[in-house]
Amino acid sequence: MRHRLKDVAERAGVSVKTVSNVVNGYLHVRPDTRARVQEAIAELNYRPNLSARNLRRGRTGVIALAVPELDLPYFAELARHVVTAAAERGWTVLIDQTGGSHEQERMVVAGIRDHMIDGLILSPLALTGEDLAGGADGTPMVLLGERVDHGPADHVVIDNVAAARAATAHLVGLGRRRIAAIGAQRTAEGASARLRLAGYRAALEAAGIAVDDRLVAPAAAWHRADGAAAMRTLLTTGVRPDAVFCFNDTLALGALRTLHESGLRVPEDVAVAGFDDIEDGRFAIPTLSTITPDKERIARLAVDLLAARLDGDRDAPAQALTAPHRLTPRESTLGRPDR
C-alpha cells in the first residue's frame, strides 16, 4: 500500500501542509513538529512522488553539471559531492565535460533550455561575462572556480592566492629556499594557474626569498605526464630545487615519479606539495602534502544557490561565496613519522 501525505499527517497529528513543508525542507517548522513528522514518514515508509511534485512546480527535477575534465580526479570527486547534495533534494544530475574549450562551454550555456533542465552548475575555464550574460535564457546557473569578470551568475570559489601562499609558506617553514613551482600557464584559460602563481610568489617575497624564474615550470595541462615532464626540465636547469609546489595533485604525482627515477629522495632531497587533496595522493609513496579544498562544501553551496534561485528571486544580485580550504601536511614534506 502506497501511503499519502494525508496518512503521514494523521499519524503525526499535524496538517497536510505541515507534512509538505517538512518533505520540501522548509525551515520554519518547529523542531519537535519536524521530528514527529519524520518519525511518521519512517514508520509508514512514505516516499514522495517527486515527478508529480516537479510537474506542479513546472520543473523537471534535473540539473546539469559541466566540468572541464572528468579524467582529473578533482572534478570526479567534486561531481560525486554534487550528485549527493542534489539527491538530497530529489534532483537528478546530468554530467557533461567541456574540455575547457570556449566553444564547448558556450554550447553548454546556450543549450540549457534545450536540455530541459532546471539549472546548471558550471566550472568554466574560457567563458567571459558577456558569454554568460547572453546565453542562459534566465535558467539559474552557478559557476565554480575562478570568477568571471562581471559575470551575472552566482559563484562558488576558494581563495587560490591564499591557498597557494600557505602551501609555499609551509615549504619555506621547513627551511627550503630553492622552491620551484609547476603548473604555470599563460593562456586565457589559466586563471587558476595565475592565482596560484601569485600566491607562490607572495610567500617567497614575504620570506625574503627572490623569485627565480628558472624555478617556475609551465604545464599546458595539469596531468601526471605534464608534472613528470616539468620536473625533468627543472632538474636540468642547473638550479636544482630543494622543494616544489605543484598547482594540483596530479602534477605532483608526476613530479614524484620523476624524482624517484632520478634517484632523489622525497622529502630529504626535494620536498613536494600539491593542491586538491585527491584520494590518490593519500596512497602515494610518500603520501602527498597538499591543499585541501572543502569539495563537499563547494558542492553543497552550489546546489543550495541553485535551490535558492529556483525557490526565490531569480533577479536578485549574484552572490559570490568562498568555500574553506586548509593545508594538509603529509610525508612528501614532513617525512615518515617513524624515521
**Residue 137, pLDDT above cutoff 70:** no
pLDDT tens-place string over residues 207-250: 999 999 999 999 999 999 999 999 999 999 888 999 999 999 99
Per-residue model confidence (pLDDT) at position 45: 82
Distance of alpha carbon 54 from alpha carbon 309, whole angstroms: 15
Please determine, for residue 153, whether its predicted confidence score (pLDDT) is greater than 70: yes
Where helices occur in 149-244 by DSSP H, the ranges are: 160-173, 191-206, 224-234
Q: Which of 2-11, 75-84, 279-288 has the lowest mean pLDDT?
A: 2-11
DSSP 287: P
Average pLDDT in the chain: 89
Phi then psi dihedrals of residue 298, to 5 deg: -55, -45
pLDDT number for residue 22: 80
Residue 55 is predicted with a pLDDT of: 47
Grid cell locating 45: 515508509
Q: What is the pLDDT of residues 159-194, one digit of tens each?
A: 999 999 999 999 999 999 999 999 999 876 788 999
Domains of the chain (ranges; CATH) run: 5-48 (1.10.260.40), 60-158+295-324 (3.40.50.2300), 160-293 (3.40.50.2300)
One-character DSSP codes across 227-260? HHHHHHHHTTSSS--SEEEESSHHHHHHHHHHHH
